[in-house]
């Protein structure tokens, strides 16, 4: 799975491929995931999560 990282003002920063056993902590800015192979993962979010209205969509596609 590829993770794309963005700054807090929505500018593309970098991307990295995550492999089996990798861990990522997303503390600030934005992120997006691209599935490049079969994948299973666990996502843990710090609550409360108020749903879709909390999300900000990034339209950049490097």
* Domain spans, the chain: 2-39
Q: Average per-residue pLDDT in the chain?
A: 86
Place of tokens 């990034």: 58
For 11-51, the DSSP string reads: -EEEEEE--TT------SSEEEEE--S---------S----
Residue for token pair 């710090």 = 46
Specify the pLDDT at position 5.
95
Q: What is the pLDDT of residue 55?
A: 76
Taking the model in full, what pTM does it have?
0.74
pLDDT at 12: 92
Task: Identify which has the larger pLDDT, 58 or 8.
Answer: 8
pLDDT reported for residue 60: 56
């Amino acid at each position: 799975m590829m993770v794309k990282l963005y700054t807090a003002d929505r500018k593309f920063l970098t991307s990295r491929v995550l492999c089996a056993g990798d861990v990522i902590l997303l503390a600030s800015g934005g992120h997006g995931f691209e599935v490049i192979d079969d994948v299973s993962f666990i996502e843990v979010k710090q609550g409360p999560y108020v749903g879709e209205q909390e999300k900000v969509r990034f339209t950049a596609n490097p």
